[in-house]
Chains A and B, each alone.
Chain A
């Protein structure tokens, strides 16, 4: 018979040493031998004996040889089943471990879409094509570690859920073949952290270019609307990129900037903008059609709304017009309103010019020559400016050398105030900070000085207003975007050809143990029946 027509069935035994148990057939044979009677008894009453045997249920053993072979065959089948007979099968791995690179760089796109999505499609297609006996485990490493387990042809529950790439990649070059002789490992990556030398590898590098946005800082002048935003757009990989950087959101409209990034280059963008009174999100965005990785192209903040203060002016004398003008200026800049002074009215900012006033319960404001307490000190006539604090945020960069004061009242400066501008006779402008705000006190009334005429007055006014609100989180960075993309992920690897396909999977041999035991049971049943 030609060899190709002969079906060779491979047989294997897991525990061949157990076949020694077949020697028990000798014991079975000995036990199956008919008993050797101890003596012979002759009887003349054969008939009564037969009837007595029938009554006692003693039947003569029939088919003794057949019964022995049935028992011996059942015993042999049980021993073979116990020895772990296996039929057929094919050598090869029976388990698949998939390592899926879910780092942020896998969010890069090419014609097939995001690299991670392409990798998941490839895993899904292969998973469904595997035989049922193959065990599958998928590990996705990126922002976290996710694990799915299943069998060939049957996707694990939750696998269909789409997860975005993120986080920093893991070192993959050192991955081995996988623990166990029946395991093979398949790594899908863009090659950003190396490619393993063993096992199956699928490289999905996009070969695209990328630039990333980095935050440099936001200077916020809240409660004033003004703010300054600085970012850097850094070229990460690929050829020259042309795009635009825009700042948009809860701010006044600003024109985007056209940017050309050479390989390795960077662009510093700076905006001085004013936020909208209602606050909201503010986003810096890098738009480039050729940028493959969009995950690091934007940074966002949440801007707190402007305080919209209710400002009241109290004046005693001619300086009230200056106070009103200052109040109106502040209200216009902060979205607030100047309200009439009325008993019981809620006021966020108080401007007082002259007079005497108890400031208990008022959180913040400006007092120009306002006396506190009952006593009157001797006024200073024509005090000269001795110096001013050039480091304090309220007075830094301002020039008070031309300040002229006609009459100053020392009692208008609270005792524990921080001196901002000092005269020859005493403090002329001081700051008192409280829990809910701050007050700036001048020892002179607006009408008794040329302060409103100084160039520093508007700046001083705004700074005092801003300082009066204290520390407030007016700009809050929002997660996501470029904040979640490590700088190393922005460098997209080039297209690589180091791919290795999966080896053919093995097939487990058939275990006929149950059938052998069932056949043995059938033989025993036949023996009992006979």
Chain B
């Protein structure tokens, strides 16, 4: 995909920006480095970042994330020139045109949560060559890991939308009695007796986490969409996304 598009302005150079976008004329005039912003580039491609960390396996979150990515990717192929798909483990894949939709869906279907994800893998992925608006699908479970990435995106002026496939586990625990609680990330386990007091305390902590997640995105100037996963046979999601493609993407 080439470096074409209408000139949309300058922004200050940040470490990692594409050197081909440097405006040397502006440097000659001001002595400072500036990067050209091309408007068409934002419209013609998006970057889909799918979180494949083990924490995404909570409930139906990963399946929902895959379906959401499939819908968003399909819409991007239909309306834009292409879409970059990244999972943080391998170089981003580029898909262009509706003809590549089967390959896109095949790629998404083959994604599995990996237990050997390095922290801040999102940041490492986005620092590679990606283009367009960023659609980041994740549970954003640890704000300390995605906050630096958002800050980097903000510095580089990359529009970003966070998609959080919400599951019941994000609001509390439904079971009671003794359970064996297991951390999906580290594998640590603990026997826990779920009682009324613990439920209330957990709901409070999860609400705090949600507010923290919203605050981090709000601080970066980006929206965070909590996407309630529909049933597997519910097709209204795609219809809704189709109708609100412009405002969401």
What is the interface of chain A, defined by CB distance below 8 A to chain B?
A: 34-49, 51-53, 55-58, 60
Q: Name B184's contact: one of A35, A42, A53 (CB within 8 Å).
A: A42
Contacts of A49 in B (CB 8 A): 181, 192, 202, 205
Contacts of A46 in B (CB 8 A): 183-186, 188
Residue pair A53, B198 in contact (C-beta under 8 Å): yes
Contacts of A35 in B (CB 8 A): 178, 191, 193
Q: Could you give 28 example pairs across A and B, Cβ below 8 Å?
A: A35-B191, A39-B175, A39-B180, A40-B179, A40-B182, A41-B180, A43-B182, A43-B183, A44-B58, A44-B61, A44-B185, A45-B205, A46-B183, A46-B188, A47-B209, A48-B206, A48-B208, A48-B209, A49-B181, A49-B202, A51-B205, A53-B192, A53-B201, A55-B201, A55-B204, A55-B205, A56-B200, A57-B197
Give bound CA distance, A58 to B179, whole Å: 13
What is the distance, in angstroms, from A5's C-beta to the closest C-beta of chain B?
53
Residue pair A52, B185 in contact (C-beta under 8 Å): no
Give bound CA distance, A36 to B191, whole Å: 8
Q: Please, what's the 1-or-0 string for B161-175, where 1 marks a CB less than 8 Å from any CB in chain A?
A: 000000001100101
Residue pair A41, B184 in contact (C-beta under 8 Å): no
Residue pair B190, A60 in contact (C-beta under 8 Å): yes
Contact of A58 with B193 at beta-carbon distance under 8 Å, contacts A39-B180, A41-B181, A42-B57 already known: yes
What is the interface of chain B, defined by CB distance below 8 A to chain A?
A: 55-58, 61, 139, 141-142, 169-170, 173, 175, 177-186, 188, 190-193, 195, 197-198, 200-202, 204-206, 208-209
Residue pair A36, B206 in contact (C-beta under 8 Å): no
What is the distance, in angstroms, from A375's C-beta to the closest C-beta of chain B?
132
Most chain B CB neighbours (cut-off 10 Å) among A38, A45, A49, A57: A45
Chain A residue, CB-CB nearest to B195: A56
Those 5 A-B pairs whose CB atoms lie nearest each other, nearest first: A44-B55, A48-B205, A52-B201, A46-B183, A52-B202
Contacts of B191 in A (CB 8 A): 34-35, 37
Contacts of A53 in B (CB 8 A): 192, 198, 201
Chain A residue, CB-CB nearest to B186: A46
Give bound CA distance, A57 to B195, whole Å: 11
Residue pair A52, B204 in contact (C-beta under 8 Å): yes
Contacts of B190 in A (CB 8 A): 60
Residue pair A45, B177 in contact (C-beta under 8 Å): no
Contact of A39 with B209 at beta-carbon distance under 8 Å, contacts A44-B55, A44-B141, A52-B204 already known: no
Residue pair B192, A58 in contact (C-beta under 8 Å): yes
Q: Name A41's contact: one of B142, B175, B197, B198 (CB within 8 Å).
A: B175
Q: Name A37's contact: one of B178, B183, B198, B206 (CB within 8 Å).
A: B178
Give bound CA distance, A56 to B179, whole Å: 16
Give bound CA distance, A48 to B140, whole Å: 13
Chain A residue, CB-CB nearest to B144: A47
Give bound CA distance, A48 to B211, whole Å: 13
Give bound CA distance, A58 to B55, whole Å: 24
Chain B residue, CB-CB nearest to A34: B191
Q: Name A43's contact: one of B58, B177, B193, B195 (CB within 8 Å).
A: B58
Give bound CA distance, A45 to B142, whole Å: 8
Q: Name A45's contact: one of B178, B179, B186, B206 (CB within 8 Å).
A: B206
What is the distance, in angstroms, from B225's C-beta to the closest C-beta of chain A?
18
Contacts of B195 in A (CB 8 A): 56
Contacts of B188 in A (CB 8 A): 46
Give bound CA distance, A323 to B198, whole Å: 133
Q: Name A38's contact: one of B57, B177, B181, B182 (CB within 8 Å).
A: B177
Contact of A56 with B198 at beta-carbon distance under 8 Å, contacts A42-B58, A43-B169, A44-B141 already known: yes
Residue pair B178, A36 in contact (C-beta under 8 Å): yes
Residue pair B197, A56 in contact (C-beta under 8 Å): yes
What is the distance, in angstroms, from B240's C-beta to the closest C-beta of chain A?
25
Residue pair B178, A38 in contact (C-beta under 8 Å): yes
Give bound CA distance, A46 to B195, whole Å: 17
Chain B residue, CB-CB nearest to A41: B179
Residue pair A43, B205 in contact (C-beta under 8 Å): no
What is the distance, in angstroms, from A142's C-beta to the closest C-beta of chain B?
80
Contacts of B205 in A (CB 8 A): 45, 48-49, 51-52, 55
Chain A residue, CB-CB nearest to B139: A44
Residue pair A45, B169 in contact (C-beta under 8 Å): yes
Give bound CA distance, A36 to B192, whole Å: 10
Contacts of A40 in B (CB 8 A): 179-182
What is the distance, in angstroms, from B132's C-beta to the closest C-beta of chain A?
28
Give bound CA distance, A55 to B184, whole Å: 22
Most chain A CB neighbours (cut-off 10 Å) among B56, B185, B195, B205: B205
Most chain B CB neighbours (cut-off 10 Å) among A46, A47, A60: A46
Give bound CA distance, A57 to B198, whole Å: 8
Residue pair A56, B201 in contact (C-beta under 8 Å): yes
Contacts of B198 in A (CB 8 A): 52-53, 56, 58
Contacts of B177 in A (CB 8 A): 37-38
Contacts of A37 in B (CB 8 A): 177-180, 191-192
Contacts of B141 in A (CB 8 A): 44-45
Residue pair A44, B206 in contact (C-beta under 8 Å): no
